[in-house]
Amino acid sequence: MKPTAVVALGGNALLRRGDAPSFDNQLANIKVAAKAIAEIAKEYQVAIVHGNGPQVGLLALQNLAYDKVSPYPLDVLGAESEGMIGYMLAQELQNLMPDTQVATLLTRIEVDANDPSMLDPSKFVGPVYNEEEAGILAEANNWIMKRDGEFVRRVVPSPKPISILDKVSIDTLLAAGQVVICCGGGGIPVCRAEVGYQGVEGVIDKDLSATLLAKQLNADKLLILTDADAVYLDWGTDNQRALRKATPTELSEYDFPAGSMGPKVEAATDFATFGGRAYIGALEEGLEVLAERAGTCVSM
């Protein structure tokens, strides 16, 4: 039986900051991701969790273009992005691994409808803007905007994941030897209702969902791939420096941006505390990161 690795792909790794949100740009990055994951899958049973920040934001913009009906809520747009990205990933992986089955599973994840993030949005979605563009869009659509590096982006609520409702299906697919793409975009956020569940207007952070999945699967490793090549201290200053190895205790001494590296560090710390080994690094260096020759390794 192969050891299990949960691989988390950032939405910004699949669509780089500043890139036009075109199919061709996303496909080019997905090909890079698929190549790295196909190599990992030779040695590990792999579950893939992907982000959807740029993609779900683009869908929200397209959603506004047709004003004959009310805009669809974020949970529905999240499901749409799961299908889009999951299809592209599955196809490219299957092309590289013709003898291995690859499954994409729309995944519902329970959240608390009263999560504090509902009042303090922090999850970046959609393309980047300059200050003038952001101001016009914020006023026109009643959006909240925050700075993301040198750009400005829309932010939405990001409730924390509580439970993966489709966990049994994930277990079944992995037990059958399939590569599983699940919890896409952090999963579709739902909360308990009078009868069953109902959707929640938000986008779950995929790194936190990936950690929850890794813990529930008792995975051996959690690999968080993004558009940054490591965790940096004093990012954006003349003193910035990469952390190559760190413990949860060491990372707790620093503050990282809530909308970008913060959730990745929180996820890696959580999984390392659980007893696993977590890695953060660049998409194109996935194998090197896992081998601890690049990126940041977090362990006890």
φ/ψ (deg, to 5) at 218: 55, 45
Alpha helices in 118-205 (DSSP H): 131-141, 167-175
Q: Is 95 a catalytic residue?
A: no
264, 276, 286, 295: which is the annotated catalytic residue?
Answer: 264
φ/ψ (deg, to 5) at 269: -65, -45
Count other Cβ atoms within 10 Å, centred on residue 255: 9
* Per-residue pLDDT at 5 exceeds 90: yes
On whether residue 221 sits in a domain, the answer given is yes
On whether residue 128 sits in a domain, the answer given is no
Residue 127 has a pLDDT of 81
Residue 259 has a pLDDT of 60
On whether residue 194 sits in a domain, the answer given is yes
On whether residue 223 sits in a domain, the answer given is yes
How far apart, in whole angstroms, are the C-alpha atoms of residue 250 and residue 114?
Answer: 31
* 176-215 as b/e: b if 16+ CB within 10 A: eebbbbbbbbbbbbbbeeeeeeebbebbbbbbbbbbbbbb
* Per-residue pLDDT at 1 exceeds 90: no
Residues of the domain holding 276:
4-52+60-112+160-298
pLDDT tens for 231-254 read 888 877 788 888 899 999 998 888
On whether residue 129 sits in a domain, the answer given is no
Q: Is 11 a catalytic residue?
A: yes
On whether residue 258 sits in a domain, the answer given is yes
For residues 184 and 242, which has the higher predicted lDDT (pLDDT)?
Answer: 184
Q: How many domains does the chain have?
A: 1
Q: Is 25 a catalytic residue?
A: no
How far apart, in whole angstroms, are the C-alpha atoms of residue 93 and residue 180?
Answer: 11
51, 52, 53, 123: which is the annotated catalytic residue?
Answer: 123
10, 11, 185, 202: which is the annotated catalytic residue?
Answer: 11
pLDDT tens for 137-146 read 888 888 899 9
On whether residue 211 sits in a domain, the answer given is yes
On whether residue 122 sits in a domain, the answer given is no
> Mean pLDDT of all residues in the chain?
90
CATH code where residue 72 lies? 3.40.1160.10
126, 206, 276, 295: which is the annotated catalytic residue?
Answer: 206
pLDDT tens for 53-106 read 888 888 988 888 888 988 898 899 999 999 999 999 999 999 999 999 999 999
10, 12, 86, 295: which is the annotated catalytic residue?
Answer: 12
